[in-house]
């Protein structure tokens, strides 16, 4: 099995070197960047499997880097774990709601970083025997990270894609917010159910006329319309 490649974006040399050493020891291929522009160049040219992105970067902050990555089809499906010294709840909410795979606050334990990375990579692995999922007019290519609605390509963030994938894999069945948080983000965020609502709202907007394919089950969660298997 090929080793996963991690791009570590951190301007503090000691922290970046420590993360690179630890990840290499855990069997990952490690790329490094100490600025936003360098991170963008590495992401575009090397196509890493995951990006560990510090938000407090000089010149171009990590949030700006993330938004630029999301705009390009070649990098929009790369999971990003945000790394920052900020610990305010609002920062975490913003990080998750814009589509980050995870959010780690400094100071952190190296063991926690490794576990979070493995969890994020694991959520990107193929879950179904077939690489193609079909739900009415929605066609989802799990391997290629492509979505078509009535034959028209639709650009989704990695988190929106995984949310749609989970709903389609459980077509006809209600998925609670807690189940979706666990499946898409990897673990529960107490009090963060609105993160799910935000992503469902954005996903529906991108599905256009087929937005009704995702039903709201009041007081419970969401369901993809279709016949129950």
Highest mean pLDDT among 5-19, 83-97, 167-181 belongs to: 5-19
| Number of domains, the chain | 2
Structural domain includes residue 141: yes
Residues 100 and 28 in one domain: yes
Is residue 198 included in any domain, yes or no? yes
DSSP 81-98: EEEES---HHHHHHHHHT
Structure tokens at 58: 């000089």
Q: Is 192 exposed, middle or buried (0-12, 13-18, 19+ CB in 10 A)?
A: middle
Alpha carbon distance 194, 187 (integer Å): 15
Q: Indicate whether 43 pLDDT > 90.
A: yes
| 151 and 43 co-located in one domain | no
Regarding whether 167 and 89 lie in a shared domain, the answer is no
* DSSP H stretches of helix in 4-150: 13-25, 36-46, 62-71, 89-97, 110-123
Residue 13 lies in a domain: yes
Indicate whether 14 and 115 sit together in one domain: yes
Same domain, 103 and 172: no
Q: Is residue 34 a part of any domain in this protein?
A: yes
Question: What confidence tens digit (pLDDT) does each residue in 161-212 have?
Answer: 889 999 998 888 999 988 888 888 765 555 567 788 989 999 999 999 999 9
Domain of 57, CATH number, reads 3.40.50.2300
Name the residue range of residue 143's domain: 132-224
**123, 144, 165: which is the final residue of a domain?**
123
Domain-embedded: residue 229: no
User: Are both 59 and 138 inside the same structural domain?
Assistant: no
Among 123, 152, 168, the domain boundary falls at: 123
Instruction: Report how far residue 137's alpha carbon sits from residue 148's, in angstroms, rounded to the nearest whole number.
Output: 8
Kindly report the average pLDDT of the chain as a whole number: 85
Q: Is pLDDT of 123 > 90?
A: no
Q: Contact, 100 vs 83, CB < 8 A?
A: no
Does 114 lie in the same domain as 140?
A: no
pLDDT, average across residues 218-228: 81
For a pLDDT cut of 70, what percent of the chain falls above it?
A: 85
Q: Give the separation between CA 133 and CA 172, rounded to whole angstroms.
A: 14
Nearest-angstrom CA–CA distance, 34 and 101 = 21
């Amino acid at each position: 099995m090929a080793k996963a490649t991690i791009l570590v974006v951190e301007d503090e040399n000691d922290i970046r070197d420590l993360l690179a050493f630890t990840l290499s020891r855990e069997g990952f291929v490690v790329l490094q960047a100490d600025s936003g522009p360098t991170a963008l160049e590495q992401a575009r040219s090397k196509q890493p499997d995951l990006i560990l992105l510090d938000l407090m970067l000089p010149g171009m902050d990590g949030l700006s880097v993330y938004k630029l990555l999301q705009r390009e089809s070649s990098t929009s499906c790369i999971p990003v774990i945000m790394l920052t010294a900020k610990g305010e709840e609002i920062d975490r909410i913003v990080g998750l709601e814009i589509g980050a795979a995870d959010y780690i606050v400094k100071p952190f334990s190296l063991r926690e970083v490794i576990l979070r990375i493995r969890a994020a990579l694991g959520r990107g692995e193929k879950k179904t025997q077939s690489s193609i999922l079909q739900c009415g007019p929605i066609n989802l290519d799990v391997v290629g990270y492509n979505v078509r609605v009535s034959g028209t390509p639709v650009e989704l963030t990695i988190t929106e894609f995984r949310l749609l994938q989970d709903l389609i894999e459980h077509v006809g069945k209600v998925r609670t917010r807690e189940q979706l948080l666990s499946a898409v983000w990897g673990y529960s965020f107490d009090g963060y159910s609105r993160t799910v609502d935000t992503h469902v709202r954005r996903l529906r907007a991108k599905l256009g006329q087929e937005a009704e394919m995702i039903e709201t089950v009041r007081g419970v969660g969401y369901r993809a319309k279709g016949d129950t298997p």
